[in-house]
Chain A
Amino acid sequence: MPDINVIFKIAGVGILISVLNMVLKQAGKEEQAQMLTLVGVVVVLLMVIQLIQRLFENVRAVFGL
């Protein structure tokens, strides 16, 4: 049973990065803001990739692929 925490985590990371992005843009650090966006995407991708792996294993087990 997967828990819904992943959804909260992703949304939290997204909102946090949006806020930090705004702060960095205000401070005139465009490059750091860009890097922050990249880091956020990578962090969320790591979470989602584990989910995708579980999905593939599950489908493989259920349908006998």
Chain B
Amino acid sequence: MDTGAFLGIALLAVVLLSVLRQSRPELAVLLSVAAGIIIFLRVAGYLRELVEVFAFLAAKAQINTVYLETVFRVMGVAYLTGFSAQICRDAGEGALALKLELAGKIIILFLAVPVMVAIMEMVLRIL
């Protein structure tokens, strides 16, 4: 595993950020964005394998793939909006970050509608 690589990237970014933060705050934000993206891209390979394993397990358990896809989509939206909101907060725009998180929550709710409808249908069928 390259845990050491992540640690190195983060520490390197922190050291360079502490230099940049005072003189060039606008570049410091971009540097922290770049560091975050590089860490995610490095971990994305493991994440993809994990997702494949979960999809395989769900297929074995004969769960409808729609539900699992919804879960993964929600995870993706949550990660992206969380990442972007953190960037906004980093740049000192807390209000914009809050709005972005609200947008993410609404989109997640929208993605979860089919699951909720399925639960409602199941409940109605039982009653």
Residue ranges of A at the interface with B (Cβ–Cβ < 8 Å): 1-2, 4, 6-8, 10-11, 13-15, 17-18, 37, 40-41, 44-45, 47-48, 51-52, 54-56, 58-65
Contact = CB atoms under 8 A, between A and B. Distances in A.
B34 A47 contact: yes
Given A4-B12, A14-B24, A60 B76 contact: yes
B48 to A, nearest CB: 5
Nearest to A10: B31
B23 interface: yes
Interface of B: 8-9, 12-13, 16, 19-20, 23-24, 26-28, 30-31, 33-35, 37-38, 40-42, 44, 47-48, 51, 69, 72-73, 75-77, 79-80, 83
Given A1-B42, A58-B41, A6 B48 contact: no
A48 B34 contact: yes
B103 to A, nearest CB: 15
Given A51-B34, A62-B72, A63-B73, 14 more contacts: A6-B38, A7-B16, A11-B16, A11-B31, A18-B23, A37-B26, A40-B24, A41-B30, A44-B30, A48-B37, A54-B37, A55-B83, A63-B72, A65-B77
Q: Interface residues of A: mostly helix, strand, loop or mixed? A: helix
Contacts, number: 103
Contacts of B77: 65
Given A7-B13, A11-B31, A14-B28, A51 B76 contact: no
B20 A52 contact: no
30 contacts: A1-B42, A2-B41, A7-B12, A7-B34, A7-B38, A10-B30, A10-B34, A11-B20, A13-B27, A14-B20, A14-B23, A15-B19, A17-B24, A40-B27, A41-B26, A41-B27, A44-B30, A44-B31, A51-B33, A51-B38, A51-B41, A54-B37, A55-B40, A58-B44, A59-B79, A62-B44, A62-B76, A63-B72, A64-B72, A65-B73
